[in-house]
Structure 1
Amino acid sequence: MKHSVDRSSLGFWSEKEMRLEAAHFLDQVDGVLKKKLKQVTPFLSFAMREWAEAVLRKEHLSFRTEGGFPEAERVRIIVGPWGETLDPTDADISLLWVHPSDSRAQLEHRQILGSLMGLGFKRDVLGDIQAGQRGFYIATTAEIASFLLDHWIQAGREKIEVSLYCEKPDVYPDLGEESRITVNSSRIDALIANAFGVARSNALEWITQGKVRRDGLVVSKAEAEVRPGDIISCRGQGRIKFLECSQTRKERTAWKIVLFRSQRH
């Protein structure tokens, strides 16, 4: 019988919650290695997805990612023995469409996510939440979709209508604002403050509260340096993609960035 997957990689995660999520994933990998049965992960964050894919490549297993949307940020991974054909329907993802009952009302992303969490669901059964015309598309595990269709009736103060969506979602394009910012240093707190147009103390507070992530991982140090190619997300604000940097004549650092205002999680 195939031995268990190497667990030393769990040392990559310092946060207890992330380590537990990673340990559960390794349990699923063991199931594939020992029983030769396909497994499907919960919805994974970008950082967990990259780590998981590295484990799967090391173990020489077949896998494919599905998120319900093209280029989804949160995905489920279907895992099978090497060489096995994996069907996208094995991901068991349902796409829901939600809009306010009152045609004059508007919903916000935070109302959607907050009401879902208020119903007792964990984040791992929910994929991306993307804005469309007058409402939102939400990727969920198929097992909770029927409950939401029957019992999810309100988001924030707004009464809502929820339906199963079986066609290609007509989401708003995730277009960012490309710009150039100039800073004294490439510390993450300075760059966040400049990009979002807030005081540096606000950026520091977001970091202290655990709201800032670099490529999916929580940033704990305000003095952390940003590198070209980094994607920094600030919960409730949006995310920044750092393209390239250069020095100005006045010995400041100029960054070319793309800013995505918060529309989804």
Structure 2
Amino acid sequence: MDIYQHFRKEEKEDIDLFINKCEIADRNYQPVLTDFLDPREQFILKTIVGRFDTLEVHFFGGDEQSERKRAIVAPDYFTPSEEDYEMVLIELKYPSKFVNLTHRNILGTIMSLGIDRNQLGDIIVNDRIQFILTKRFESYIMLELTKIKGAGIKLSTIPFENMIQSNEHWLTHDVTVSALRLDVIVKHITNTSRALSKKLIEGKRVKVNHREIDAVDFIVEENDLLSIKGYGRAVIVANNGESKKGKLRITYRTLFK
């Protein structure tokens, strides 16, 4: 299966993992569950599954708005249930009058307990706070996660039908760019100069799909999630092809501070 040429060399490990899961599902004719995947990983997996005639892939992250999702690769006759994804929605209660908790606080504390990022789905912060976790860590986190920023907290597992929406507001932009180089994209996203975007990248303040990237000529693709320290996040929604003047038309969304 000559698929590596369609993706980045640093994505080879993910590609190998996804091919292996597809081969297991195909060979054993049984569903195979993944960890939580970001949008780019979901895109890669969907592409690979498309090369297997008898397989389909299903995604679930809590609701339609979820960014991080688990996937089930399965024979085309199989229809998964919510329980098949083996994940739980946990609500966090804390003394909001005395402490302000952010997405970063919650993520950092959970990961400090030894839980990998790929075991954690979306963290939703609104007037209430919820997060999604693989089910096998449910008992562990109920015992170990008792404080965040020094404040005592209480956790409870709730049904996915009670999942709240984030108060984060993403903005959609349609622009024309000269190239899909990272420095060009960061320049447009941050509305700054090319020189400053280069400084941000070389200063290791930019991540693409949670990987630190310091090469200004790194090529950005659809479904890439960019994190720019000091600014916020952006996701490349679509490459809409060339304009009449030979430039590239893209759609991206931003969530900035």
On whether the aligned pair clears a TM of 0.5, the verdict is yes
Is the CA contact 2:124–2:164 (under 8 Å) kept in the aligned structure 1? Answer: no
C-alpha displacement of 1:20: 2.9
Q: Partner of 1:140: helix, strand, or coil?
A: strand
Letter in 2 for 1:238: R
Is the CA contact 2:43–2:223 (under 8 Å) kept in the aligned structure 1? Answer: no
Q: Partner of 1:129: helix, strand, or coil?
A: strand
Q: Out of 95, 102, 110, which is 1:101 matched to?
A: 95
Q: Partner of 1:41: helix, strand, or coil?
A: strand
Is the CA contact 2:170–2:253 (under 8 Å) kept in the aligned structure 1? Answer: yes
Q: Partner of 1:234: helix, strand, or coil?
A: strand
With over 3 angstroms needed to count, the CA separation of the structure-2 counterparts of 1:173 and 1:223, relative to structure 1, is same
Is the CA contact 2:243–2:249 (under 8 Å) kept in the aligned structure 1? Answer: yes
Cα deviations across residues 160-198 of structure 1 (Å, max 9, x unaligned)?
A: 222212133222344234679999998643553564366
Cα deviations across residues 10-68 of structure 1 (Å, max 9, x unaligned)?
A: 563422xx433332322222221111121101111211111111111210202210011
C-alpha displacement of 1:81: 1.4
Name structure 1 gaps, 5 residues minimum.
1-5, 248-252
Which residue number corresponds to residue 233 of structure 1? 226
Aligned residues: 248
Letter in 2 for 1:82: D
In 2, Cα distance between the equivalents of 1:150 and 1:37? 34
Is the CA contact 2:126–2:167 (under 8 Å) kept in the aligned structure 1? Answer: no
Which residue number corresponds to residue 260 of structure 1? 255
Q: Out of 72, 75, 79, which is 2:69 matched to?
A: 75
In 1, Cα distance between the equivalents of 2:149 and 2:175? 36
Q: Partner of 1:112: helix, strand, or coil?
A: helix
1:169 paired with 2:172, answer: no
C-alpha displacement of 1:126: 0.8
Which residue number corresponds to residue 122 of structure 1? 116
Matches within 5 A, 1:1-265: 6=1, 8-10=2-4, 12-15=7-10, 18-60=11-53, 61-133=55-127, 135-166=128-159, 167-177=161-171, 188-189=182-183, 192-193=186-187, 195-196=189-190, 203-208=197-202, 209=204, 211-213=206-208, 221-223=215-217, 233-236=226-229, 237-239=232-234, 258-261=253-256
Cα deviations across residues 196-251 of structure 1 (Å, max 9, x unaligned)?
A: 3667665334433273328x887554256779x7765225522166889999xxxx
With over 3 angstroms needed to count, the CA separation of the structure-2 counterparts of 1:157 and 1:207, relative to structure 1, is farther
Name structure 2 gaps, 5 residues minimum.
none
- Normalising by structure 1, what TM-score? 0.74
Is the CA contact 1:149–1:164 (under 8 Å) kept in the aligned structure 2? Answer: no
- Normalising by structure 2, what TM-score? 0.76
In 2, Cα distance between the equivalents of 1:21 and 1:129? 23
In 2, Cα distance between the equivalents of 1:142 and 1:218? 29
Cα deviations across residues 124-168 of structure 1 (Å, max 9, x unaligned)?
A: 1111112121x4221111111221122111234443222212133
Which residue number corresponds to residue 3 of structure 1? none
